[in-house]
Amino acid sequence: MQELHDFFAKDLRSLPMPELRKDPIVGRWVIIATERAKRPVAPKPEPQSGDGGFCPFCEGQEDKTPHEIIAYRDRNTRPNEKGWRVRVVPNKFPALQVEGDLHKRGDGIYDKMNGIGAHEVIIECPQHEVTLANLSEENIREVLWVYRDRLVDLKKDPRLVYGMLFKNVGAAAGATLEHTHSQLIVTPIVPISVWEEMTGALEFFNYRGRCIYCDMIQQELGAEKRVVLDTPNFISFAPYASRFPFETWILPKNHNSHFENIQKTEVDELGTVLKTILLKL
Ligand SMILES: [Zn+2]
Ligand SMILES: [Zn+2]
């Protein structure tokens, strides 16, 4: 435990700059961040537990994380103190660093740039809960709204072009803390898998003059074979070419390209959809 404590007390500014290196064969960008190897590793096979163990994400432990970027708080409470409902902090062991220039450069056949970007942690609730599905719909809505708030803010940074929200749950997935949380990584490059998806959608559009996602929604609603949930603004279904068991997509029925354009009423509905899907899973 003491080891964990020391790492959380470490000064972020002393970390060496991570690097983005491009694989010259497949064109994939890889983050080289040696400092991340030092992040806390639980002595047990499962992540840090709340039963008596130390959890830096629980309410009352605000001084154990870097200073908050944003938090939804009860009235008359102060930043980095109790009274928050959802809280966003920089990752203590960032894969990318927010300060500095990209400094794109070549080294023979290799391309690289400084590992500039944002790496944030969204602490989804103040109490020690390990499952997002157990949170109230209102709580889940605030988590979704803070995703939107952070994407809108980071979009203003001209160095950054892509944002990815993700959750690792359980030791096998690489989670080092069990308190329910998500992460946001915003990068100066578009990941190759996303590039392939965008190119595929563009090719479909160039050929048929229609949006592949809108077409897919129409077909799935008609076939009713793979639909998991159908609500006024969202559809959830198992994709035709699923890569793993229980793969489930949630798509907005209205044609829209950016999550951060979502409206408040849609977030309210999406909170219900997400909780329902997670409970079904
Ligand atoms: Zn906790
Ligand atoms: Zn569409």
Q: Are residues 143 and 257 in the same domain?
A: no
Task: Please tell me the distance between residue 262's alpha carbon and the centre of ligand 2 in angstroms.
Answer: 14
- Amino acid, res. 144: L
CA–CA separation, 86 vs 268, rounded Å? 16
Residues with CB under 5 A from ligand 2 (ion): 211, 213-214, 255
Last residue of a domain, one of 190, 213, 243: 190
How confident is residue 192, by pLDDT bands cut at 50, 70 and 90? very high
Q: Which ligand is nearest to the CA of 204?
A: 2
CA–CA separation, 54 vs 48, rounded Å? 7
The reported pTM is 0.88
Structural domain of 265 = 194-280
Q: Which ligand is nearest to the CA of 213?
A: 2
Q: Are residues 221 and 185 in the same domain?
A: no
Task: Please tell me the distance between residue 54's alpha carbon and the centre of ligand 1 in angstroms.
Answer: 8
Mean pLDDT of 44-50: 50
Mean pLDDT of 88-98: 93
Percent of the chain with pLDDT over 70: 90
Q: Are residues 130 and 259 in the same domain?
A: no
Q: Are residues 181 and 198 in the same domain?
A: no
Task: Please tell me the distance between residue 50's alpha carbon and the centre of ligand 1 in angstroms.
Answer: 6
Last residue of a domain, one of 142, 165, 190: 190
Task: Please tell me the distance between residue 216's alpha carbon and the centre of ligand 2 in angstroms.
Answer: 9
Q: Which ligand is nearest to the CA of 211?
A: 2
Last residue of a domain, one of 190, 219, 239: 190
Please write the tens of the pLDDT for every residue from 138-156.
999 999 999 999 999 999 9
Q: What pLDDT shows up at residue 10?
A: 44
Q: Are residues 110 and 246 in the same domain?
A: no
Q: Are residues 58 and 168 in the same domain?
A: yes
- Amino acid, res. 246: F
User: Which positions are catalytic?
Assistant: 181
Q: Are residues 175 and 201 in the same domain?
A: no
Q: Are residues 109 and 176 in the same domain?
A: yes
CA–CA separation, 240 vs 259, rounded Å? 23
Judge contact between 135 and 157, C-beta under 8 A: no
Neighbours of 200 (CB within 10 A): 11
Residue where the block lists tokens 């002393």 = 14
Task: Please tell me the distance between residue 246's alpha carbon and the centre of ligand 1 in angstroms.
Answer: 28
CATH of the domain at 119: 3.30.428.10
Q: Are residues 156 and 256 in the same domain?
A: no
Judge contact between 228 and 280, C-beta under 8 A: yes
